[in-house]
A and B are shown apart, each in its own frame.
Chain A
Amino acid sequence: MKITTELVDYVSVLSRLKLPEEEKVKMAGELEQIIGYMDILNRLDTSDIEPMSHTFPVKNVLREDVVEDFGGRAALLSNAPAHDDTAFLVPKTVD
């Protein structure tokens, strides 16, 4: 699959990444290699193999519906680039 710089632009908008022009070209080449690997995989005949969504053969990992209070607001807030006493602070997004 051909990865154009336009496609790199599109993906970087979705990922909120700003790439300089020269890096876009480099990225296009690298992405094309990665996607190309999928082309190799696609050549395998998998018609009689069950599709797999997880690598570990586990299912139904469930917990009981019992409340536990984490209680560490200050600790959680301290991980964010900006916060006040009670909330995470983010740039204006609502129009």
Chain B
Amino acid sequence: MNWEVVIGLETHVELATKTKIFCSCTTAFGGDPNTHVCPVCTGMPGSLPVMNKKVLEYAAKASLALNCDVTQYCKFDRKNYFYPDLPKAYQVSQLYLPIGRNGKVPIQVGSEEKVIRIHELHMEEDAGKLVHDNWIDQTRADYNRCGVPLIEIVTEPDFRSGDEVIAYLEKLRSTLEYLGVSDCKMQEGSLRCDVNLSVRPQGSTELGTRTEMKNLNSFKAISRAIAYEARRQEELIEMDHKRVIQETRRWDDNKDATISMRSKENAQDYRYFPEPDIPPMELTDSYLDSLRASMPEMAPAKRERYQREWGLSEKDAALLTDTRAMAAYFEDTVAAGAAPKQASDWIQGEVLRELKEKSLDIKQVVFAPEALAHLIDLVRQGKLNRNTAVKVFRAVFDDNGDIDAYVKAHGLEQVNDTGLVEQVVSDVLAANPQSVADYKAGKKKASGFLMGQCMKALKGKGDPKVVSQTLNKKLAEL
């Protein structure tokens, strides 16, 4: 039988605010246990939570960017459950009036385009961290993460493959990163994903029983978990003639399998009710208009523009727009006078290599786009050859050093004196009669060796094009 896999996603994204959602504690990652806490986020009786203006702004921006209908009168609800990662015994979330509903996210897989529908987007608070200590057989609760603002984005069951899921998550990550509402770093847990998956015979319109997978902390893990779980359900039905049980399963990266989690008794009854401590929020038309006006140009628009205005390839445009910071670096380099194609090549070649070697983020780079543009210009003017320019780049990259001073101090200006080049080539040919003979005998490789000798004699400063022309001319004359 041919099976179709049906997937819906619940994605939690941590918002990039300085403070928590309902108190002024820092959201900084790490910190000694319980040092980023106060009476509000530890749920002390009598404390009064106050909503963070930035959280509302970020959640509204995300809703708009994901084409949701924004709930202009929205409020919070309490989701009640007893678990010690939540000191209040409830999580402040949104059930009845989530800030965003009925969104649409266009994605592309290969040449196929499709729209993923967003069921809702709501705001909520993160929970604390529990670490069990076997020595004292007790669990330590650290509430530093408790109250960190999250948005949860719930899709309709619109995905039919792991590739579609990854394309959606890439789009989501790009959108939220461009908006500046989240870093979306999976490895730091600022983007977390639960996958709801069921299978059904191809052509069927009824939904099968689904399982929910948790603990997916990389795109790779998500792809593998989807492939595994789809096959497990298909085999369960087809080979074992059993039914899929609705349950939560945990992905185990080491075992490469999903494992059933013991379902907690009555875990689904959260007894939601309106949060009385936080007054409702009204998002006026003019507020939403001002948010719309502040939205940056997003990746798809930039990709299109780079190709149309600057003649870059689709692949180059995609790479340069991967993050907003990367696109800004590229655009600043072009604005400083570099030809877009050259800027693109340098960034994707040399800059990315430095980032990779030094495990840096483009945001941390001190080497100025203006300096890169200047370096590109020196090559264009023929003052530096490409190889020397790379050497200079690597020397000044870390501290944004003065390029002209470095070139001068190391005597790296390209030799454009054709008389000197002619002399050097003649000398090299005279000093290497065997190679010349080999060349004449048809061993074309010998010219590469001679070229290398010429460049060496010129201390790498010759213009490779001029040197090679001169060499070929002289070899032909011999």
Contact = CB atoms under 8 A, between A and B. Distances in A.
Contact of B44 (A59, A65, A76, A82): A76
Interface residues on B, range: 35 or more
Given A76-B44, A93-B84, A65 B278 contact: no
Contacts of A86: 32-34, 140, 142
Contacts of A45: none
A54 to B, nearest CB: 6
B274 interface: yes
A11 B289 CA distance: 46
A73 B35 contact: yes
B53 A89 contact: no
Contact of B34 (A67, A87, A93): A87
Nearest to A87: B140
Interface in A11-31: 13-14, 16
A48 interface: no
Interface string A51-65: 001101011111111
A43 interface: no
Interface string B29-51: 00011110111001010000011
B42 A93 contact: no
Contacts of A64: 53-54
Interface residues on A, range: 35 or more
Given A13-B265, A56-B279, A73-B34, A65 B17 contact: yes
Contacts of A14: 80, 266, 269, 271
A62 B269 contact: no
Given A73-B35, A73-B37, A65 B19 contact: yes
A79 B43 CA distance: 11
Contact of B138 (A10, A92, A95): A92
B44 A77 contact: no
A13 B265 CA distance: 9
Interface in B259-290: 262, 265-266, 269, 271, 274, 276, 278-282
A66 to B, nearest CB: 7
Contacts of B80: 14
Contacts of B310: none
Given A70-B39, A86-B33, A59 B24 contact: no
B132 A60 contact: no
B83 A65 contact: no
Contacts of B25: 67-70
Q: Is the interface of B mostly helix, strand, loop or mixed?
A: loop
B132 A92 contact: yes
Contact of A67 (B26, B35, B139, B269): B26
A76 B54 contact: no
B83 A93 contact: yes
B140 to A, nearest CB: 4
B279 A94 contact: no
B249 interface: no
Contacts of A73: 34-35, 37
A19 to B, nearest CB: 16
B186 interface: no
Q: Choose among B38, B87, B274 the residue with the greatest number of A CB atoms under 10 Å from its CB.
A: B38
B335 interface: no
B25 to A, nearest CB: 7
Contacts of B24: 63, 66-68
A56 B278 CA distance: 11
Interface string B172-187: 0000000000000000
A88 B34 contact: yes
A86 B56 CA distance: 32
B82 A84 contact: no
A88 B140 contact: yes
A90 interface: yes
B274 A90 contact: no
Nearest to B273: A53
Given A16-B82, A54-B276, A63-B52, A90 B266 contact: no
B139 A59 contact: no
Q: Choose among A64, A65, A72, A79 the residue with the greatest number of B CB atoms under 10 Å from its CB.
A: A65
A64 B140 CA distance: 32
Contacts of A89: 136, 138-141
Interface of A: 10, 13-14, 16, 53-54, 56, 58-70, 72-73, 76-77, 79, 82, 84, 86-95
9 contacts: A14-B266, A54-B279, A61-B50, A68-B25, A79-B44, A88-B87, A89-B138, A89-B140, A89-B141
Query: What 6 A-B pairs are tightest by C-beta distance, nearest first?
Result: A70-B38, A87-B140, A68-B24, A65-B54, A90-B84, A62-B53
Interface of B: 17-19, 24-26, 32-35, 37-39, 42, 44, 50-56, 75, 80, 82-84, 87, 130, 132, 136-143, 262, 265-266, 269, 271, 274, 276, 278-282
Given A76-B34, A87-B34, A89-B139, 8 more contacts: A53-B280, A61-B50, A68-B19, A76-B37, A76-B38, A76-B39, A90-B138, A92-B138
